[in-house]
Structure formats: structure tokens, C-alpha cells
Amino acid sequence: MSRIVQLRGMLEKKQISCRELTESYLERIEKQNGRLRALITITEEEALQTADTVDKKISKGEKLRPLEGIPMAVKDNISTMGIETTCASRMLSGYKPIYDAHVWQLLKQQNAPLLGKCNMDEFSMGSTCETSLIGGAKNPHDTNRVAGGSSGGSASSVAANMAAYSLGSDTGGSIRLPASFCGLIGLKPTYGSVSRYGLFAYASSMEQIGPIAFSAEDAAIVFDVISERDTRDMTSKGISEKTHPQLGRSLSGLRIGISDEMLGSAGDDVSRAVREAADVYRKLGAQLVPVSFSLQKYVLPVYYILSFSEASSNLGCYDGIRFGPAADKYDDIDHMISLTRSMNFGREVKLRLLLGTYILSSGPYDVYYKKAQNLRSIIAKQIKEEIFNHCDVFLSPTTPFTAFKSGTNLSSENNGDSYTTMANLTGLPAISLPCGYDVDNMPIGMQLIGKHFCEAQILNAAYMFERETDGAFLSRLETGYEI
Amino acid sequence: MKWEMVVGLETHVELATKSKIFCSCSTQFGGDPNSHCCPVCTGQPGALPFLNRQAVEYTVMAGLALNCEINRYSKMDRKHYVYPDLPKAFQVSQFDIPLCINGHLELSGGKMININRIQLEEDAGKLIHEGGKILVDYNRAGVPLIEIVTEPDFRSAEEVVEYLEKLQGILRTIGISDCRMQEGSLRCDVNISVREEGSSQLGTRAEIKNLNSFSFVQAAIEYEFDRQTGLLEAGKPVFQETLSFDSVSGKTLNMREKEDADDYRFFPDPDIPAIILSEEDIKRLRECIPELPEARIKRYVSEYRLPEADATLICKYKKVADFFDKASEGLKNPAVAASFILTQMFSKISTEVAREQWASPIPPEFLRDLVLLLEEKKINHNLAKNIFTKMLEEGKAPKSILEAEGISTDEVIDLDELCKSAVYTNPGAVEDYKKGKKKALQALIGNVMRQSRGRADAEEARKILLELLKE
């Protein structure tokens, strides 16, 4: 069921040239991007150049590397040298980075044709993609609905087959939520599996880059390429063993934790689909273990306090001095910096930066930051003791609900991140995979959280579910090239 | 009323690591603006720090040399403020758990200056004002710094200067910084307040920022002490403020009021894991610390019988002291070697920087050989001086200079024999001397010197001749 393996086979058997393949993606982008707003920047020239390089290799009969020649897209907060990278913000409009992110370096080494940069919530701050400067990416399953966020463009582009796979980033659920809304696989790796070097930081202690793809196998292939250790990121550890060769292992004996409270708090369609998925796992030999997580209600407050604090620090570099558009009429340098920031940051970003700045100031620091930091360790301890001491993998819905109409106002208590963020606070790897459709025929996603650096286990669990259900829930909007 | 000054010091020292604290850019001073820069040290979005282990180790060495406790667990924190030379809008520094705490440095009178903490941090860039524009040079941004904070233990400007000189000597000796004030690799902020003598309460303090020479430190403290006592005597309050020192007028000037404390919004840097040091790490670093200047001066005075002033001057520059130690091996009187260094070599190698680098034209063994010739009385002091001058010019060993001059040092000079011969072969001069012509003695000494080809000790010869002439 791997889109990537299928396309690579076609290239190697010369059923299609890489240029033709890339052009077909560019055509679909041209047709659909205006409507979907999945890509902020389209990099046709870059993609075709790479495609030609790949075609030369193919004509010489050389073997292709795992991602060689497979057209893809990258979230617009990942540094691509010479290619505009804006974080969907006015603050970076026109900014062409002077260096490559580690993940982009690795993809370049694979000769991966880059089709474009994916739309996102401004500086990843949002869960609908709608805080983007150009407006949110639309959900290809129903363009009146959001693609989810913050990596909305990464999901929208793949679901509409405008890219074979994409990279997103996940700080509180930003890969898994849009993957779930768009019927795709989204992997948030263990904190430290993938280098953050070149990821424009929002909340450094929580975020990871990861793939959004059609299938678990695709996600594993991409993850194996991008998870190479990087000495420029002190928190990068890489992974010890490739995950792709580990797919297909029996799930017999696998202990899957499941929380009745959590399932009960989700919408009916969603909890029903996840319960049915649990039954599939039982059939596959897994053992379902009831677990509970009483501190769940503190996850989002802790996440907000810490992520806003880190953001208020991380976004200090946007001062208009070295890059990005700057105010041109000002009294002095302080005035220039504050005008530049007032003009160029959107509303949601300003809100989070102001709150973060307040939280870190002396006084509130003890009341909020310190308390949240303590609570973060307590939550991690409970997750370890109450959940992972009893099971190998924790199963839940990815979000309480499916993709909703654009323009819906979400309350901060119910914004779709309530099940995903626990993986970010603890650094645990988590995957979202499609497991059903709701009454409106919108995709439902479920989440599997694994133990640290056990990506192979959750990828395999997702892979086995796909196989058992015959890919029934995989996105079928466009199946790409028919063979 | 008698007033007492209370001074505490924050000294910033740039570490002599080859690369910056968080990237591989060069730390070299100078260079074209923005030529030692990369995405990390210019705060490009997405760039991440990688902590230079050497910078951590140098900080620990400074702590060990200054008698500090070393925190086995330490961390880096972000300190936020907005200024164009600070590319990330925060400085990575250490807030509540610095690498080193509770140290001290002893002044010559035995007084202890307590060191509160030594923390590791990054330097900022530099602003250049040009044609009405402000330009930023980020070459210095990310150069590793340590900040050494003392308790308010100083009671005079002299104590402060002595502390700084000692500190400079220690840090240079352990090799963690070149401590050049003129290049800004050692600079300090002075916190000064005034109180009635005998009072245990502290007065309101002012902070004088960025002093970059010992004489400015002294002048600024003295000026500020007079200014504050003047205010207090006139019944006026001293305000808490930040001052700069104008070296032209010799006055301190207000930079900004510091009434409400800055809120730097410190928090642990999420990109840099905690720094964990093992017992072995610390043991290994302790072994890296060479003999410190204080101990070396004591050794030179007690073992080598050097005057304390000479010992202090030699120990001011580690490389000079190393040179002296080598030159002294096997000498009966190393003070002679010291005096050659302090006179002829110091006048040839005259600047502070040159002495620090000590590019000596001769190896220390050549100086030792020269002093040995003197000790064996094969040459006299005057000749030694002349030979040494040539050695420094030509970079040659004393023997080869002597050979070139045709002077043999194989035979030992028998000064008695030479003097006797001078008396017997110059009856005229002897006669003149006995008639009261004291000048005739010079002629006899000259004869001895000629016979010895200049190697004899003229002073010794004079004594022997006088004895002979009595007879």
C-alpha cells in the first residue's frame, strides 16, 4: 500500500520518467492549489531540475534511493536555502534562508523533487491553519472544511495528491491533527529522533518534524531518511534501527492501553470508530488493557503556558534588522523593532507572545511557568506509571471530532489538541492513522502513542491495521498513477 | 565624618577557545565585519546552539584556580533584552546554577576577596556608528565569556587594581584567556557605594560599566567615591544608576537610571541540555592547572632568592616564567638569569602583548649556558652582557659568539697569575701608581683584561692588583 514504493517501481521500470511524474504533480498543483491553498510557494524549477538528475541516474541504470525521484512538499517553517520560507507570516515575506535545515539536506541527498512549501498556521500557532497570512488550507474531502493545523498545507497537499508525501512539524498535535482531518498518516517522532536544525522554532522543548503520508509504510520510509542524527542539534539522538524493515511483525502479545474516559469524551462517531479499531487489534492478537490518565485535564494548560513562554523567547529574533520586512519610518531603533513586530505579526501570534512574555516575567514566572514545569514532570511520571507500565502502545482518538467548517471559533479547552499534546509534553512518539468516516463522510483518525524511540512499534501497529482492514480507510480521493 | 567605599566587581573575560560558544565560527579578534559569522551566531530562524565543551572546561578551570566549588549539575539560561547587537533578543547565560560558586582570591596583604560566582555566557556583537547609520558587526557575537562576580569586599581602588592584576595573571597562566583589556577580552563593571566608616549597612550603589584599562578602573573608582561622598556630605541622596566612565574628562556619566530593576525573563534554554560534570572530569581539569603565579613567586623568592619585585614581574607573563624556569635549570644563582631577562630581554621585548607572547630570539638553554660561563668564571659580567646582546640579535648560542670573537673558554682564567704578570711586565705603571698616580691602576687592569681577552672579572682583578701593589 506504499505510494512511495509504487512510484519508485514505476520509475525504475521506466514506466514513467521522473520529469513526467513531477510534471503530473505540478499540473495537479496548478489545477487545485488556488482552491485548496495547500502550498504557499511552488518550486517548479527546483522540482524539475531534481527530476532531470534522477532521470539521468535511471537512464544509467543506477538503483534509486528510498525517496529518490518521489515528488514531495515541505512545511513552510523548514529552512530551504534560497527558497522563500515564511512561516505563513508577513514577518518573513520574501525571506530566503541562507542555510538548509538538516531534514532538507537529507532529502536533497536523496534527490527528492521539492514541489513547494506548505501552508500552515502563522509560526505554527493554531490548529486549523487559518491563522496563515494567505488564509487556511482547505480540506480536499470537503473544501468548506478546514484541513486542520498547524501543518494544514502539508496534509491538504498530500490528500489532494499534490505531493506524494510531505513534511510537517508537530508542537502540540500539528502533524497528527491535520493528518486525521484529511484521512492520512501523520507521525510525530520521539523528541530527539529528528533534528530540529532549521525548523523555525515555536516551542523548542516539544516540537518535532515528521512525515504526513498516504500509508504507514510511506511514513516509515520517510521517517527512516529524516531521522539521521545531527550534531548541530544538541537534543538530536537519531534512531538506532531503521523502522521500514520492521513492518509486518505480528502484533500477538502487544499490549494496547485504552482509556474509557478519553473515548467517552470524544464524539460518538469518533469513539465508535476507535472502539471498532480496537476490536481489529484484538483480532490481530493484541491485548487491550484499560488504563486511566487522571491528569489529562492539565495537559493543555501546561502546554499553553510552556509553549507560549518558549515562543515569546524564540520569536525575539524577528526584529527587522537582519531579515524580513522592517518598518521604514521610526524614531529610534527600539521604535523600529516594535513597529516591525506590530505590523508583521498576526493576531494569534501577538496574543501568544504577549502571554508568554507575561508568564516569564518575575512574579508570574513562579505562579505559572514554574508550576507548569513541575506539572509537566508529574504528568510525564503519571503517563509512565499509569499507562506505559501496563501497555506498550496507548490507543485513543487523534481528535475528539472530525474536520469542521472553516471559520468555526474553537474554545481553547476544545480545540482538537486535547489528546495529542500529551505526546509533546512527554516527548513520546505518536502516530495518527485513519480508522473510519463520520456521518458526513469525513475521515476519522486514531492515535497510537508509543514508548520513547519506539517509532517502529507504532508504525508497525498502524501498518498491520491497514493490512487487516485492506486499506479501507486510507484516503481515496486520488490514487495517483494507475498502473 | 569618615567615609568608606564599598566596591564589588563583575569581570567579563573572553575565553581563548578557537571557536565560538555555540558554533564553529572563529573567535579571532578583528577581521572584516561579519566575516566570522554563520546562521547560529547571527540568530537566523531555525538555527540551534551546540555548546562548546572547551568553553565549559575553561570555565571550570577558572573556578578551580579561584578556589570555587564546581556545580556538578549546571545549566544554560536565556536572558532577554532587546538590543540590535543581540541577534536572538536573548543572551544565553547562567541564572541560578552557574558552573562555579563560592571562591576567593587572596591579595598580597592576606586579605581575601570572595568570589560569589563564575558563569559562562555568550558575548554580543558590536554596533558601529557610521554616517548617521548604525551598523552591526556580529563577529564578536557568540564568543564565549565568563563573568566573575565578587562580593562587595573591596575598600580601595588599589585593592581593585591588585585583584584585577592577580586575576589576569591567574587566567593567563591557566591559559583560558589572553585577558587583553585593550581588545576587550577582559573588561569590568564596578559596583560602588559609600557609607560611614564602621557602619554595617550598605549605601545605594552605582554601577560603572565597561571599564577597559586598570588606570580607568582606578580613576573611575576614585572619581565616583569623591562624587558620592560629596553628595552625602551635602545631604543629598545617591541614586541607583548605571554610569559610564569618560576617560577624557575623568568623570563618570549617567547612562540610564536603574530604579526599577530590569526584568530579564530568565528561563532554562530548551535547546541546551543540562551540563553534567563527573568527578573524573573535575579531577582531570584540576590536573590541567599549572603552578599559579602566587605559588611561583613564592618559589622564586624562597628557592631562587629572587627579589620579590623581580619574581612578580617574571610571573606576570606565564611564558616568561616558563622561559626563566628552563634557563635556571642547574644554575647556582638563578637570580643572574632573571636579571638578564628583566633588563636586556625586557628592553628588547617591550610591549605587554609581546611579553605575553614571548617570542624570544633564543631558547632558554642559551641563557643558561651564558650564566654557567659566568658562574664558572670563564667570562666576566661585562663580557657576558655584550655577548648576550649579540645572542639576542643573532639568535646564537654563547659559545658560537665567543668563537666568532676568537675568545676561548676552554682554559680557566687564573686571575692571580694574570695580575702578577701585569705587575711584573709593567714596572713603569707600578712606579707611577706608587708615586700617587691612581690612574695607573686602570692601565694594569686593562692589561689583565687584554691578557684574558676580556673574560676576566675587572672588579676581582682590581682587588688582587691592589693587594699586589701593597707589597
**For A124-128, B129-133, B195-199, B289-293, which range has the lowest pLDDT when averaged over its residues?**
B129-133
Chain A residues closer than 8 Å to B263 by CB: 361-362
Q: How many CB atoms lie within 10 A of CB A23?
A: 17
Q: Which of A235, A319, A333 sits opposite B134 (nearest CB)?
A: A333
Q: Can you tell me the distance from the alpha carbon of B89 to that of B136, in angstroms, rounded to the nearest whole number? A: 14
CATH among 3.40.50.800, 3.40.225.10, 3.40.50.150, 3.90.1300.10 for A1-483: 3.90.1300.10
Q: Can you tell me the distance from the alpha carbon of A456 to that of B1, in angstroms, rounded to the nearest whole number? A: 79
Q: How many CB atoms lie within 10 A of CB A414?
A: 12
How high is the ipTM of this complex? 0.95
Do β-strands A443-449 and A430-437 pair in parallel, antiparallel, or remain unpaired?
antiparallel
Q: What is the pLDDT of residues A18-30, one digit of tens each?
A: 999 999 999 999 9
Q: Can you tell me the distance from the alpha carbon of A241 to that of A238, in angstroms, rounded to the nearest whole number? A: 9
Distance (Å) from the C-alpha of residue B364 to the closest C-alpha of chain A?
44
Do residues A426 and A383 lie in contact, with contact meaning Cβ atoms separated by under 8 Å?
Answer: yes
Distance (Å) from the C-alpha of residue B117 to the closest C-alpha of chain A?
22
The pLDDT of residue A480 is above 70: no
User: If contacts are CB pairs under 8 Å, which of residues 8-67 in chain B contact chain A?
Assistant: 38-40, 42-51
Nearest-CA neighbor of A154 among A253, A10, A40, A268?
A40
* B46:A235 CB<8 A: no
* A319:B78 CB<8 A: no
Q: Can you tell me the distance from the alpha carbon of B170 to that of B68, in angstroms, rounded to the nearest whole number? A: 14
Q: Which of A198, A313, A333 sits opposite B46 (nearest CB)?
A: A198
- Categorize the per-residue pLDDT at B4 as very low, low, confident or very high, splitting at 50, 70 and 90: very high
User: If contacts are CB pairs under 8 Å, which of residues 320-339 in chain A contact chain B?
Assistant: 321-323, 333-334, 337
Distances (CA, A) of B229 to A192, B194, B205, B209: 58, 7, 12, 20
Active site residue A411: no
Do residues B208 and B179 lie in contact, with contact meaning Cβ atoms separated by under 8 Å?
Answer: no
Q: Can you tell me the distance from the alpha carbon of A5 to that of B258, in angstroms, rounded to the nearest whole number? A: 65
Substitution target from B75, B265, B271 for chain A, most A beta carbons within 10 A: B265
Nearest-CA neighbor of A115 among A77, A158, A82?
A158
- The predicted model gives B267-291 an average pLDDT of 97
The pLDDT of residue A477 is above 70: no
Chain B residues closer than 8 Å to A231 by CB: 50
The pLDDT of residue A287 is above 90: yes
Coil, helix or strand at residue B467: helix
Q: Which of A95, A197, A360 sits opposite B265 (nearest CB)?
A: A360
Q: Can you tell me the distance from the alpha carbon of A347 to that of A131, in angstroms, rounded to the nearest whole number? A: 8
| Cis peptide bond N-terminal to A150, omega within 30 | yes
Residue type, A411: S
Q: Which residue out of A2, A75, A124, A309 is catalytically annotated?
A: A75
Chain centroid to Cα B341, Å, comes to 17
Q: Can you tell me the distance from the alpha carbon of A121 to that of A87, in angstroms, rounded to the nearest whole number? A: 8
Residue extents of the structural domains in chain B: 3-285, 291-404, 415-470
Interchain CB contact of A265 with B (< 8 Å): no
Residue extents of the structural domains in chain A: 1-483
Do residues A345 and A89 lie in contact, with contact meaning Cβ atoms separated by under 8 Å?
Answer: yes
- Categorize the per-residue pLDDT at B260 as very low, low, confident or very high, splitting at 50, 70 and 90: low
Distance (Å) from the C-alpha of residue A234 to the closest C-alpha of chain B?
6
Q: Which of B44, B87, B134 sits opposite A98 (nearest CB)?
A: B44
* B270:A204 CB<8 A: yes
The whole-number pLDDT of residue A479 equals: 42
DSSP string, B116-138: EEEEEEE---EEEEETTEEEEE-
Per the structure block, which three cell numbers stand in for B81? 533584552
Per the structure block, which three cell numbers stand in for A306? 510552556
Looking at the domain that runs over B415-470, which CATH code has it been given?
1.10.10
Rg (CA), chain B: 30
The whole-number pLDDT of residue A147 equals: 97
- Categorize the per-residue pLDDT at A482 as very low, low, confident or very high, splitting at 50, 70 and 90: very low
Q: How many CB atoms lie within 10 A of CB B341?
A: 22
Q: Which residues pair with A118 in a beta bridge?
A: A39, A75
Active site residue A294: no
Q: How many CB atoms lie within 10 A of CB A401?
A: 18
- The predicted model gives A312-336 an average pLDDT of 94
Helix runs in B124-175, H state only: 157-173
Chain A residues closer than 8 Å to B88 by CB: 316-317
Q: What is the pLDDT of residues A93-139, one digit of tens each?
A: 999 999 999 999 999 999 999 999 999 999 999 999 999 999 999 99
Q: Which residue out of A79, A132, A150, A432 is catalytically annotated?
A: A150
Distance (Å) from the C-alpha of residue A1 to the closest C-alpha of chain B?
34
* B48:A197 CB<8 A: yes
Residues ≥6 apart with Cβ < 8 Å to B109: none
Task: Indicate left, alpha or beta for A348 from its phi (over 0: left) and psi (-120 to 50: alpha).
Answer: alpha
Distance (Å) from the C-alpha of residue B88 to the closest C-alpha of chain A?
4
Substitution target from A309, A321, A331 for chain B, most B beta carbons within 10 A: A321
Chain centroid to Cα A450, Å, comes to 17
Substitution target from A322, A335, A338, A358 for chain B, most B beta carbons within 10 A: A322
User: If contacts are CB pairs under 8 Å, which of residues 33-92 in chain A contact chain B?
Assistant: 77-79, 85, 87, 92
Residue type, A152: G
Interchain CB contact of A298 with B (< 8 Å): no
The pLDDT of residue B410 is above 70: no
The pLDDT of residue A218 is above 90: yes
Distance (Å) from the C-alpha of residue A238 to the closest C-alpha of chain B?
16
Q: Write the burial class of residue A160 (CB in 10 Å: 0-12 exposed, 13-18 middle, 19+ buried).
A: buried
Q: What is the maximal distance between C-alpha atoms in chain A?
A: 70
Q: Can you tell me the distance from the alpha carbon of B347 to that of B393, in angstroms, rounded to the nearest whole number? A: 13
* B271:A235 CB<8 A: yes
* A92:B45 CB<8 A: yes
* A205:B270 CB<8 A: yes
Length of chain A: 483
Q: How many CA atoms lie within 13 A of A129 on its CB side?
A: 40
Q: Which of B46, B136, B266 sits opposite A101 (nearest CB)?
A: B46
Q: Write the burial class of residue B70 (CB in 10 Å: 0-12 exposed, 13-18 middle, 19+ buried).
A: buried
* B263:A362 CB<8 A: yes
Closest-CA residue of chain B to A365: B265
Q: What is the pLDDT of residues A436-470, one digit of tens each?
A: 999 999 999 999 999 999 999 999 999 999 999 99
The pLDDT of residue A417 is above 80: yes
Interchain CB contact of A246 with B (< 8 Å): no
Distance (Å) from the C-alpha of residue B1 to the closest C-alpha of chain A?
40
The whole-number pLDDT of residue A413 equals: 63
Active site residue A79: no
End-to-end CA distance of chain B: 74
The whole-number pLDDT of residue B255 equals: 83
Average pLDDT, chain A: 95
Coil, helix or strand at residue A145: strand
Q: Which of B47, B49, B265 sits opposite A357 (nearest CB)?
A: B265
The whole-number pLDDT of residue B133 equals: 87
The pLDDT of residue A483 is above 50: no
Q: What is the pLDDT of residues B444-456, one digit of tens each?
A: 888 888 888 777 8
- Categorize the per-residue pLDDT at A234 as very low, low, confident or very high, splitting at 50, 70 and 90: very high
Give the DSSP H/E element, type plus range, for residue A168. strand A165-170
